[in-house]
Structure 1
Amino acid sequence: MGRRKARERALQILFQVDMGGTDPQEAMKNMDESFGPVDNNVDFINRIVMGTLDNLEFINQTITSVSQDWDLKRMAGADRNIIRIAFYEIFFCRDTPNNVAVNEAIELGKTYGGEDSARFINGILGKVLAKPEDYFPKTGDAKSTCDQRNTTASPGITT
C-alpha cells in the first residue's frame, strides 16, 4: 500500500470517528475487517490518524479562521477530514513537503468529495500556504508531531 492509499485509509478512519463517534482504534479495526489488514505503511496511517486527532483543536481552529463564512459543522464530512489530514501534514510532518500534502488532499477531494470539493480544499489550503506565518503553530501548541508520535504504541492497525 502506497502513501496515497494509506491516506485514503486514514481518511476513512477519521470519517468514522468524526461522523459516527467511533473510537479511533475501533475504526481502525473496522477498516481492517472490511478491507483487509494493511501490509505496509501501518505507522504512516497511525501517525496521520492519531496525530490529527491529537491536534484536532488547533487544526479545527485553523480551518475555522481560514474558511470565512463556513461553519466547520456545515462542511461536508469528507472535505473537513481531508483538510484536517492536509493541515496535520503541513503543520506537523516535516517528512511531507507542503505541495505533496496539498496535491494529495486535492486528489482525495476528487475521489471522496463532491463536485466542488477539490477546488474548495485547494482554496482553504492555499490561503494558509500563502501566509504560513499567520497560521503555523507556536512552540508548545503541538500535542504530537510525526516525529514524536509513538506509532508502535497505537493499537488497532495490524500488519
Structure 2
Amino acid sequence: MKRRTAREKALQALFQIDIADTEIQDALNFVIEDQGHDEYLDFLVKGTMENVNKIDEIIASNLENWTIARLSNIDRNILRIATFEMLKSTEVPVNVVIDEGIEIAKAFGDDQSSKFVNAVLSKIKEHLHL
C-alpha cells in the first residue's frame, strides 16, 4: 500500500475510533478490507493512539482561539496523524508530511480544512524545531 493510501486509511480508522469508540484492531481490520496487513498503516494508527495525549497537547499549544474538542473530527485526526509522523517517522521529511496532510485535508475535509491544517502543521514544525 502506498503511504498516501496508508495515511487515508489511518484517517478513516482514527475517525472510527474517535466517533464510535472502536477498538484499534477492529478499526484497522475494517479499513484494510481485503488488502491485507500494512506496516505503515499500523505504525500510524497504533502510534497515534499510543501518543494521543502528547500529540493533542502539541496541537492544542499551536491553535489560536480553538480547542481540540472544537475541531472537526477530520481536521483533528489529520493533525494527529501528521504530528505523530513528524515526531516519530525517520523516513519521511517533515515538509512531505505537511504536504500530505494538506492534500488529505483537501480530499476529506471542508473547503477551509487544507488552509487550517497547513497553518497548524507549519506552527508545529516551527515550535518543534524540525
How would you bin the TM-score normalised by the shorter chain? over 0.9
CA drift at 1:31: 1.9
Alignment of 1:75-94 (within 5 A): 75-94=71-90
Name the one with the larger helix percent.
2
Alignment check: 8 A CA contact 2:59 2:124 kept: no
Is the counterpart of residue 38 in structure 1 residue 32 in structure 2?
A: no
Residue 12 of structure 1 corresponds to 12
- Measured in 2, the distance between the counterparts of 1:24 and 1:131 equals 30
Pick 1 or 2: higher relative contact order, CA cutoff 8 A, min separation 6.
1
CA drift at 1:21: 0.7
Alignment check: 8 A CA contact 2:106 2:114 kept: yes
Paired residues, what number?
130
CA drift at 1:104: 0.5
Unaligned runs of 5+ in 2: none
Residue 23 of structure 2 corresponds to 23
Percent of paired sites with the same residue: 35
TM-score by length of 1: 0.77
Alignment of 1:30-69 (within 5 A): 30-32=30-32, 36-39=33-36, 42-69=38-65
Unaligned runs of 5+ in 1: 137-159
TM-score by length of 2: 0.94
CA drift at 1:38: 2.3
Q: CA RMSD in A?
A: 1.4
Structure 2 residue identity aligned to 1:86: A
Structure 1 residue identity aligned to 2:96: V
Structure 1 segments of 4+ aligned residues over 6 angstroms from their partners? none
Alignment of 1:68-147 (within 5 A): 68-133=64-129
Closer, same or farther in 2 for the Cα pair 1:96/1:38, shift >3 Å?
same
